[in-house]
Structure 1
Amino acid sequence: MVSFAGLKNQYERNWTSLEIRPSRLPDANAVARKALNGKATYQQIERLTGVPWYFTALCHYRESNFNFDTYLGNGESLHRVTTIVPKGRGPFATFVDGAVDAFRVENFIGAQDWGIARILFRLEAFNGFGYHAKGCNSPYLYGGSTLYGPPEARAGKFVRDHVFDPNHVDSQLGTAVILHAMMALDSSITLDGGPQFAGRAEPEDDAASTIVLMQQALNKLGANPPLAEDGISGPKTRTAVSQFQQQNGLSDTGLLDAATVAAITRAAQTGGSVRSGELSHVLKRLEDLAQIMRGGAPQGGTPQGGIPPVIIPPSTSDPISLFERLFSLINKTTPMPGPVTPTNPAPVDQLKQVVDLLSTLLSKGGKPALGQVNGALGETVGKLLDGKKTALGIGGSLITALLSSVTASPTAGGITGLLGMIVSAVPGLGQFAMPISLALAAWGVLGKMEKWAQGTAPPPKPMT
């Protein structure tokens, strides 16, 4: 399995010894100036994501040669839904919006380590780690330097999938070479973005174990070509995921979202595909609720009298879009047409994963895919939470937001000191607690709305 720890020293040695070939220095400086011209835009993205602006510039060079009318994740147009992995993204109003989405997909938001070794690891992961097995430095990083190509180093290039030509010299400049040239022109790039806490796992490290399991499962299901079980969601893995999604009625994105992970796991365990009907009945239920709240009725029903119609854009198969529309109705606001772009998208993404996972694990007929013991436990918990889910979810969200905003201080006293101790004792509190609280609140709200729609809500308590 490819790991950052196993490659870290090599990246650091290569960076220390990197020299741009004199014949390529004018080209490298020209590209570096183009990158610096976009610095103000890249800094906007850094403020929203925490990703250093110069890393965004390198990704932009790699994907679309600094075209600001493209999606950073794959170089396609901002103004259409993407058709290559990651599929189904956009359209986006601005380059900044698309870049934030692309970094969220890559698990870069929340990363702390932006030292040179981690930067080079992340850049090489986009193109794959196959060059290590060939004893050749990747031209994707080192093209145009003395670390790649004769006479100082070995040449070689994957001229097409699985075909390596050891005599081919890639003429494109590598991203490490561009970064080296940028640093010579802009002294503000210092590469001192190491992790605040030694040994802290980065987001992609946390995801690696799940990706390995999915690669193993896809290989078991007959992935062609077989995937390297390296824990990196690279181009080949995403293509295999996309093929599985197409074959099993899932949203074709090429990404390992919670629904896809659950479906691949179940398919590998049963030796076949999952039934698409098992994934759709929860979404159908949400569609029916949304239709009722518009002032109509589920398909096949009659309009509900007494409910004023609300103009809502056509509903989608995305449960988060439906949740947002339902919540906006409760708040007596009308959603604006088009995709919803929250100011802080992370909790929404996490809530979507929770909802997707729950919808996938539900089996045919609406019964949970649990045994007798777990099923009884689930029913017991459901009864205990009956009538309390919305309050608990909203309260938990507020408390989590409060705790997440507290900065721990050893000199603080009173309630501030207590909250600081809690936050420091539970790293990443909001990352886990917030999606759970939001899911609980959504569960409660939808349950109440369903009861109202069906006429089974309890009568109001008498006032004394």
Structure 2
Amino acid sequence: MISFESLKSEYERNWASLEIRAGRLAEANAVARKALNSKATYQQIERLTGVPWPFAALCHYRESNFDFDTYLGNGESLHRVTTIVPKGRGPFATFVDGAVDAFRIQNFIGAHDWGIARMLFRLEAFNGFGYHAKGVNSPYLYGGSTLYGPPEARAGKFVRDHVFDSNHVDSQLGTAVILHAMMALDSSITLDGGPQFAGRTEPEDDAASTVILMQQALNKLGANPPLAEDGISGPKTRAAVSLFQQQNGLRDTGLLDAATVAAITRAMQQPGAAAQNGDLSQILKRLEDLAQLLRPSAGGTTLPAIVPGNTLPATNDPVSIFERLFALINKTAPMPGPVTPTSPAPVDQLKQVVDLLSTLLNNGGGKPMLGQVNGALGETIGKLLDGKKTALGIGGSVLTALLSSVTASPNASGIAGLLGTIVSAVPGLGQFAMPISLALTVWGVLGKMEKWAQGTAPPPKVTT
């Protein structure tokens, strides 16, 4: 299986022996100088993402030959929504905005190891690891060096998707070759960025277990061509994800977002597994299965686990579902825009929760008994909350306002002490609870209007 650890020694060995071919040295130096001329722009990306500026320059060279009017993730125009994987990105105001987005969805933000082996591994991941199966050093890394092409090494190139020509020599310079030339021209470039803490995993390593499970699931669902179950979301995996999204009415991005992971998980289940008659235990079981897939391997906040012998939360308790969904959204939602990573806005969280619940609960085909407003969370939860949303929303808004005005005090007792304890245990209470409560209130009012419009509202009570 392809992994960084399995390839690390190979990258280090190749880098130590890399020589630029004499006939390509002038070209390599010219490309390196072009990259160095835009150093200030790449350093701006580094300040926003932590990704070393030489890495950004190398990606830019291979994806669009230093065209600053393109999206770094795939070389398409900055000014239109992207149509090849990653799809649906943009438009972006600047090249830097697009670069930050591209590195974010590649899980490069927050990475600590930028030594030469890890850098070459990440560069090759942009293009795919198919050359290893052919016994050829990737031209994406080594084109123009003695490590690729005759007489010193083997040739070969994927001339189009899934078609390998063993006699073709890629004429484009490889990223390792350009990096070698850049370092000869700029002594400030160093490659000693190893992990800061022993045993600390990199972001793409944390995501690998989820990607493997999704690759296995897509293969069982008939992915063609079959995917390598390697935990790397490369071009083939993203193409398979894109096809699944198209076939299942999801937003076509090619990315394993929370709704897509939920839909793939659901597609692997037996038909008819949806919760019935107001029992939410099956929904909670689905969420726990999904949480297990998305739970990071080390560090970070995880969802409450349901283990054998533990009692499931109350089966008619929608609060448990919202708690799990918000925890899930917080761990998986991509953050748009070139800003310092922060938690998603509460309104955005609520929308993602609704979208994810719709995916989990939508069993297709049947016309909902509830209207679009009252049945927005599916028939099961919709019935549970039917007639209660307005009251819950108003009550929640009032309670949130009261709790938000309380200052925790170690000397307080009675009701004040209890409220202070609650406030201190729920940081940012007003920021999250108030928008949800207000949204629930509006939802309830709209639901009542919908019933009146449909003629399904209960008759007024007779008063005497």
Is 1:347 aligned with 2:343?
yes
Structure 2 unmatched ranges of 5 or more: 275-334, 369-374, 409-425, 450-464
Contact 2:100–2:337 (8 Å) recurs in 1 = no
| Aligned position for 1:2 | 2
Tell me the C-alpha RMSD between the 2 structures.
Answer: 3.6
1:390–1:445 Cα contact (<8 Å) kept: no
Cα shift at 1:353 = 6.0
Q: TM-score, normalised by structure 2?
A: 0.67
Instruction: Say if 2:113 and 2:195, in contact at 8 Å, map to a contact too.
Output: yes
**Cα contact 2:137–2:147 (8 A) shared by 1:** yes
For residue 436 of structure 2, give the secondary structure of its aligned residue in structure 1: helix
Do the aligned partners of residues 71 and 232 (structure 1) sit closer, same or farther apart at CA in structure 2, a change above 3 Å counting?
same
Q: Take 2:144 and 2:254, find their aligned partners in 1: how far apart are those partners?
A: 32
What is residue 396 of structure 2 aligned with on the other side? Answer: 387
Partner of 2:33: 33
Q: What secondary structure, in the 3-state scheme, does the structure 1 residue paired with 2:164 have?
A: strand
How far residue 227 of structure 1 moved from its aligned partner, in angstroms, is: 1.3
What is aligned with 2:195?
Answer: 195
- The aligned length equals 348
Structure 1 distance, partners of 2:75, 2:240, is 20
Give the AA of the match of 2:217: A
Supply the AA of the counterpart residue of 1:86: P
* Residues 30, 340 of structure 1: alpha-carbon distance in 2 compared, 3 angstrom cutoff: closer
Q: Residue by residue, what CA displacement relative to the aligned partner does 1:38-89 show, whole Å, maximum 9, x if unpaired?
A: 1111111111111111110011001100000001111111111111111111
Alignment of 1:74-153 (within 5 A): 74-153=74-153
1:20 and 1:436 map into 2 onto residues whose CA distance is 59
Contact (CA 8 Å) 1:258, 1:356: kept in 2 or not? no
Q: Does 1:243 align with 2:229?
A: no
CA distance in 2, matches of 1:90, 1:355: 24
Counterpart of 1:269 in 2: which secondary structure? coil
- Answer yes or no: is 1:170 the counterpart of 2:170: yes
Equivalent-residue separation in structure 2 for 1:340 and 1:231 (angstroms): 24
CA–CA distance in 2 between the matches of 1:111 and 1:434? Answer: 27
In 2 relative to 1, CA 371–84 (structure 1 residues): closer, same or farther, beyond 3 Å?
same
CA 1:27–1:98: 2 relative to 1, 3 Å: same
The question of whether the paired residues in 2 share the 8 Å contact of 1:245 and 1:252 is answered with: yes
Decide whether the 8 Å contact of 1:240 with 1:254 is kept in 2: yes
Query: How far apart are residue 443 of structure 1 and its match?
Result: 3.1
CA positional deviation for 1:154: 1.6
What corresponds to 1:183 in structure 2? 183
Distance 1:70 1:371 in 2: 46
- 1:428 is aligned to none
Whole-angstrom CA distance in 2 between matches of 1:342 and 1:200: 26
- Judge conservation of contact 2:101–2:337 (CA < 8 Å) in 1: no
Relative to structure 1, the CA distance from residue 105 to residue 156 in structure 2 (aligned partners, 3 Å threshold; closer, same or farther) is: same
* Equivalent position of 2:361 in the other structure: 362
CA distance in 2, matches of 1:244, 1:386: 42
1:289-319 residue CA offsets vs partner (Å, 9 max, x unmatched): xxxxxxxxxxxxxxxxxxxxxxxxxxxxxxx
CA deviations 1:230-260 (Å, max 9, x no partner) are 1111111111111111111111111111001
**Residues 346 and 361 of structure 1: is their aligned pair in 2 closer, same or farther, counting only changes over 3 Å?**
farther
- 1:347 match: secondary structure: coil
- Residues in 1 aligned to 2:134 and 2:62: alpha-carbon distance in whole angstroms: 23
State the partner residue of 1:459.
none
Q: Which runs of 5+ in 1 are unaligned?
A: 275-338, 400-432, 457-464
Q: Against the structure 1 CA distance between its residues 262 and 441, is the aligned structure 2 distance closer, same or farther, given a 3 Å change threshold?
A: farther
**Cα deviation, residue 30, structure 1:** 0.6
After TM superposition, the structure 1 = structure 2 runs for residues 167-316 of structure 1, keeping only pairs within 5 Å, are: 167-270=167-270
State the shift of 1:200 in Å.
0.9
The Cα offsets for residues 91-120 of structure 1, whole Å up to 9 and x where unpaired, read as: 111111111111111111111111111110
Report the CA distance shift for 1:438/1:81 in structure 2 as closer, same or farther (over 3 A): farther
Q: Which amino acid aligns with 2:168?
A: H
Mapped to 2, the partners of 1:206 and 1:435 lie a distance apart of 27
C-alpha contact (below 8 Å) 1:390/1:440 kept by paired residues: no
Q: Residues 51 and 98 of structure 1: is their aligned pair in 2 closer, same or farther, counting only changes over 3 Å?
A: same
Q: What TM-score, normalized by structure 1, do the two folds share?
A: 0.67
Question: Percent of aligned positions with the same letter in both sequences?
Answer: 75
194-203 vs 50-59, which deviates more?
194-203
In 2, Cα distance between equivalents of 1:225 and 1:435: 47
Residue 136 of structure 1, CA deviation: 1.2
Moved more, 345-354 or 229-238: 345-354
Given that 2:354 and 2:377 are in contact with CA atoms closer than 8 Å, whether structure 1 keeps it comes out as no
Equivalent position of 2:414 in the other structure: none
Contact 2:142 2:175 in 1 (8 A): yes
For the structure 1 residues 30 and 342, does the alpha-carbon distance in structure 2 shift closer, same or farther, using more than 3 Å as the test?
A: closer
